[in-house]
Structure 1
Amino acid sequence: MKKNWLKCGILTLVGAMTVGLTACGGGDEAKPAATGDDGSKNTSQKLVIYTARDKNVVDQIIPQFEEKNPGIKVEVMTMGAQQIMERVRGEKANPQADFWWGGTQSSFITAANEGLLESYKPSFADSVPAEYKDAQDRWYGEMLLPEVIMYNSDAVKKEDAPKDWDELLDPKFKDKILIRGVMASGTMRTIYDSMIYRQDPNSPEKGYEWLKKLDANTKEYTQDPTQLYLKLARQEGTISLWNLQDILIQKETKKQPFDYIYPASGAPILVDGVGIVKDAKNMEAAKKFYEFLFDKDQLKDKAEKLFQIPTRSDVDKNEFPAWYKELDTKSLDLDWMVLAEKEKEWMQYWDENIKGKGAK
């Protein structure tokens, strides 16, 4: 009995050693490396993306990228653009993300100045106008994003919706306005900064007074876009301020009762950017995703399905959908360098002295 036990133990040990040798590369069953869309072999890679993009955008783009690059596994963390900024800043000594997908040019200007972004000149660099990218190739604008007035089309007739920014202050809209939480949102920070700038770019005081009046008409600041859409659809409020792309996605794709007014005096038009995080651990995968986002076929597909306005100047607009060709993108006259410089100061003042304190 003892001999049988000893024999069994020796066989088990030999078997385990054989498996170990095979796992170390000595066997004949090693799998070939995955092949990418360009025919090159990829070892297994990871790509960590921090994004402020709408879930509908992420759900369309990421599977397509993974299909074309089967050796790359993508991990996506979704948060507000300002939250991304703070996270990337906090992780500077040990970056956890590889790619920053979606944020205002003010955020990217600040991040570049703080050394948070890698310099990378993509293949399409010359087709993006200078005003839509960083001079040192640390970020590029993927799309243009007009910020507009949003309303529930079941509750408000188009002719009764605010036609321009100052109409939002009319007492008839008191407790009708819902605002996505400002401090965590690049979109909302840009709108609020723009409202301060348009009053007087040399002094924020008039802008602060304007925001106090808007606060007085604001019923609630929602935690995130999902809550904003839910409450607006339920008519807990009927007016909001938001970006054109997400409004059209909710209206056309989700069949929400939403529509928009393009402000008569013009809209802040964000250059919504992307960039590689400084010292990213998965640099090559990040570069591939960069190129993928700006591929011409991708841009046309995103305009058709996701209502994106591309920054590339070498696309044939005749191939783009009707909504894009018919859009009149009148822009507010803004100095984005000033907005980037003053954003923290202005928004901190708003958060501490204006939010929830307007004349009720």
Structure 2
Amino acid sequence: MTHRLALLGATALSLLPFGAFAQPKELVLYCSVNEEWCRAQSEAFMRETGINVLMTRKSSGETYAQIKAEEGQPRGDVWWGGTGDPHLQAAQEDLTEAYESPVLAELQPWARAQAETSGFKTVGVYAGALGFGYNSTMVTENPPACWADLLDERYADDIQVANPNSSGTAYTMLATMVQLMGEDEAFAYLAKLHANINQYTKSGSAPIRAAATGESAIGIVFMHDAVAETVSGAPIVTVAPCEGTGYEVGSMSLIKGGPNPEAAKIWYDWALSPAAQEIGATAKSYQVPSNSSAATPPEAPKLADIKLIDYDFAKYGSSETRAALLARWDAEIGALPK
């Protein structure tokens, strides 16, 4: 145990309410990052605090749906990771608790803005830009550099992207296209792209794993997921689309009425600390951490070098907007024949 982590664990435990003589014994964690990172984070927390973590890994959309289904009788304590839009929707629908962590002052402006937008019912834990990756052994000439290039007929049935109902990554793509092009133009683009899609996956990172193995030529994902495949030795080239792109503020929320509220706050403060945020890189997760003092992995795509849109998290994380866009996607894209 490092000295810094030991201090963090002691600090977290000192945040127990006055009169709480017994250390919490259990935490139920809903995790929406990749499985390896979920495990590494849970195990580190258990080592530091002695609190047993019961972890379930699901994608952002699936986790939101589970929390919604459990409203009034929640089984989970913390929702950690996953795109910020469904976290904001959960906040709006009063599924999560307001909490102002003492670590907030250490966070990047975009992470604090996420907290302020939600009335402190969620907070940013990392950021990552949307893009795509292609298999360089399959795409050898005139590789795609822009969103428009993905409509090329040579990619027929050779692109994967997730379903925005289950995947926060894919919802970010949907919201990005609407903000880049306007809603009608975005759906026209997605209808054309459909001809080149061989599968709408459940998981947001699955498309780049398919490209890494040669199952598809291209996967539309967050750029850090494409980088992870390259670092692992796959022939994947990561692309920041020329027109501009959206990004995620991966978030964390306390589930309202969860069974272990003291343990939940201990996790919340710990997960915002520099040492806890640096665990991601050890699990081949190359997002930009939200704590200003946390080391950014050198492999992480540099947000300053990417043409990012001014993503409207409040609007596209609202219940009304998300429900309307997903319903239109189901009617106009998901219902198209293959």
What's the TM-score, normalizing by structure 2?
0.84
Alpha carbons of 1:91 and 1:63: their partners in 2 closer, same or farther (altered >3 Å)?
Answer: same
Alpha carbons of 1:42 and 1:265: their partners in 2 closer, same or farther (altered >3 Å)?
Answer: farther
CA distance in 2, matches of 1:199, 1:310: 29
Task: Note if contact 2:59-2:204 (Cα within 8 Å) is conserved in structure 1.
Answer: no
Aligned length: 315
Aligned to 1:184: 166
Q: Which structure would you say has the larger Rg?
A: 1
Q: Please tell me whether residue 221 in structure 1 is matched to residue 188 in structure 2.
A: no
Q: Please tell me whether residue 59 in structure 1 is matched to residue 39 in structure 2.
A: yes
Given the alignment, which residue of 259, 266, 279 partners 2:237? Answer: 259
| 2:219 alignment partner AA | S
Aligned to 1:296: 274
| 1:275 alignment partner AA | S
CA distance in 2, matches of 1:303, 1:223: 24
Q: Please tell me whether residue 138 in structure 1 is matched to residue 121 in structure 2.
A: yes
Residue aligned with 1:133, SS:
helix
Alpha carbons of 1:182 and 1:98: their partners in 2 closer, same or farther (altered >3 Å)?
Answer: same
Post-superposition offset of 1:183:
1.7
Given the alignment, which residue of 218, 225, 230 partners 1:246? Answer: 225
Residue aligned with 2:334, SS:
coil
Aligned to 2:252: 274
CA distance in 2, matches of 1:37, 1:306: 23
Given the alignment, which residue of 102, 123, 142 partners 2:102? Answer: 123
CA distance in 2, matches of 1:310, 1:221: 29
Alpha carbons of 1:104 and 1:226: their partners in 2 closer, same or farther (altered >3 Å)?
Answer: closer
Aligned to 1:166: 148
Given the alignment, which residue of 71, 80, 84 partners 1:101? Answer: 80
CA distance in 1, matches of 2:281, 2:205: 22
Alpha carbons of 1:224 and 1:287: their partners in 2 closer, same or farther (altered >3 Å)?
Answer: same
Give the gaps of 5 or more residues in structure 2: 1-7, 14-20
Aligned to 1:337: 314
Alpha carbons of 1:175 and 1:48: their partners in 2 closer, same or farther (altered >3 Å)?
Answer: same
Aligned to 1:207: 186
C-alpha deviations, 1:183-239, integer Å up to 9, x for none?
A: 200110110121122111xxx222211110111111222343575355323423111
Report 1:26-65 matches (<5 A).
37-38=9-10, 42-43=22-23, 45-65=25-45
Residue aligned with 1:134, SS:
helix
Task: Note if contact 1:265-1:332 (Cα within 8 Å) is conserved in structure 2.
Answer: no
Alpha carbons of 1:49 and 1:335: their partners in 2 closer, same or farther (altered >3 Å)?
Answer: same
Alpha carbons of 1:198 and 1:268: their partners in 2 closer, same or farther (altered >3 Å)?
Answer: same
Runs (4+) of structure 1 exceeding 6 A deviation are none
Aligned to 1:323: 299
Task: Note if contact 2:205-2:225 (Cα within 8 Å) is conserved in structure 1.
Answer: no
Residue aligned with 1:352, SS:
helix
| Percent of aligned positions that are identical | 24
Given the alignment, which residue of 139, 154, 160 partners 2:137? Answer: 154
C-alpha deviations, 1:312-350, integer Å up to 9, x for none?
A: 3x327xx54433485523312332223224222112111
Q: Single out whichever of 226-235 and 126-135 deviates more from structure 2.
A: 226-235
What's the TM-score, normalizing by structure 1?
0.80
C-alpha deviations, 1:159-194, integer Å up to 9, x for none?
A: 633111111112222222112233200110110121
CA distance in 1, matches of 2:58, 2:277: 23
CA distance in 2, matches of 1:126, 1:112: 21
Give the gaps of 5 or more residues in structure 1: 1-35
CA distance in 1, matches of 2:113, 2:159: 33
CA distance in 2, matches of 1:272, 1:322: 19
- The CA RMSD measured in Å over matched residues stands at 2.5
